[in-house]
Amino acid sequence: MDFDVNKFASTSFKRREEDVPVPDLREWFKGLKEGEKPVWRVRGLTGEELARVNEASARNRNKNAVIEALNSDKAEKVTDAIKELIGTSERVPDDLARRIELLTIGSVAPECSHQVAVKLAEAYPVEFYELTTKITQLTGMGSEPGKPKRSSGSQASSSPSNSAT
């Protein structure tokens, strides 16, 4: 069985998307009608986006190393200022840093800033993990091939006549 490189290269792809029910976040969804359920739409990531997510763990480890080094100097005020500057006052687990990045990149509706992702992880950790797990699943499934392009609408001509006239 041969891989059709030409067909693959000429196919357009779109990232998979899915709605994730988040009933516990209902209070923060405006304009929901009676009986309408709140959903958070997420999507799978591209290779570049996944690399950025994976780099979030490394960035997190670097922040933690700087904080620990500053703590060893006992320069408490300087340490606190640096913690505030780099956006962390406590040690953040690598998995959490990675998932925050997943949610900020993989959220479709609502869009999710880093600040909102952090707050969601703190206030609603189960929903946070459900959303980031779904993004990971969609990414693992790959993109969906787009529909083939429609023809121009003109009909193919019939085969030429066998007659000499």
CA distances from 83 to 1, 55, 64, 120, 147 (A): 56, 20, 9, 21, 49
pLDDT at 1: 83
70: left (phi over 0), alpha (psi -120 to 50) or beta: alpha
Provide the pLDDT for residue 69.
58
Domain boundaries, the chain: 39-143
8 A C-beta contact, residue 61 and residue 88: no
pLDDT tens digits for range 78-127: 555 555 544 555 567 888 989 999 999 999 999 999 999 999 999 999 99
Per-residue pLDDT reduced to its tens digit, 117-165: 999 999 999 999 999 999 999 999 999 987 655 544 444 444 454 545 5
Q: What is the pTM (predicted TM-score) of this model?
A: 0.70
**Distance (Å, whole) CA 50 – CA 54:** 6
